[in-house]
Amino acid sequence: MSTDDVAAVEATVAAALAELEVDHHRRDSGQFLVTLPGTNRLQTHCWLLVGEHALFVQAFVCRQPDEDHDVVYRFLLQRNARLYGVHYALDRIGDIHLIGRLGLHAVTTAELDRVLGQVLEAADGDFNTLLELGFASSIRREHAWRQGRGESLANLKAFEHLFG
């Protein structure tokens, strides 16, 4: 694509994010940092990067699991089969991300809405499962430490079944 075509896609992304009323900040040319609000995960930061041939989508989901890597990775691979426009991937240190690419011709408000919705649904919806699968021992230790000190257990409520 030409420089003018890439600039047009950048303008489309900016207009779409404004229309969708998505919290975002424009960084350098073609770089948008989107903040998606969540429930299990308070927010998910998602990069939209306009390249010469595609719009790259990338969101950090979770750091490398402490334990049961094979169980976590099996979950991610099975989950990939049900995702739209993005898929789970690991970075060089093992942290978990959602990534995807859209052809520049496919970048529309509707398509960005659908892909960002999928990022939010996956990152937020799978967050507690990923924590439970990959960090159960840490969660149990945190619960015992908080309970012993009389600290709040409110944000561990989703994991009560681990403490029995």
The yes-or-no verdict on residue 89 having pLDDT over 80 is yes
pLDDT band at 117 (very low <50, low <70, confident <90, very high): very high
Please indicate, yes or no, if residue 36 is contained in any of the structural domains. Answer: yes
Tokens of 113: 């809405």
Number of folded domains in the chain? 1
Q: Is residue 141 part of a domain?
A: no
Residue 56 has pLDDT above 90, yes or no: yes
What is 23-51 written as a DSSP string? EEEE-STTEEEEEEE-SSSSEEEEEEEE-
> For residue 1, what pLDDT is reported?
65
The whole model's pTM is what?
0.93
CB atoms within 10 A of CB 38: 15
Paired strand residues for 43: 37
Cα 59 from Cα 44, distance rounded (Å): 7
164: pLDDT strictly greater than 80: no
Asked whether residue 13 is assigned to any structural domain, the reply reads yes
Residue 38 has pLDDT above 90, yes or no: yes
On whether the CB atoms of residues 67 and 134 are closer than 8 A, the answer is yes
Within a 10 A sphere around the Cβ of 150, how many other Cβ atoms?
7
Residues 107, 133: Cα–Cα separation, whole Å = 35
DSSP category for residue 87: E
Residue 164 located in a structural domain: no
The pLDDT of residue 114 is above 90:
yes
The enclosing domain of 13 has a CATH number of 3.30.1460.10
The answer to whether residue 41 sits within a structural domain is yes
The share of the chain scoring above pLDDT 90, in percent, equals: 87
Mean pLDDT in residue range 96-110? 96
Of 107, 134, 127, residue with least CA distance to 9: 107
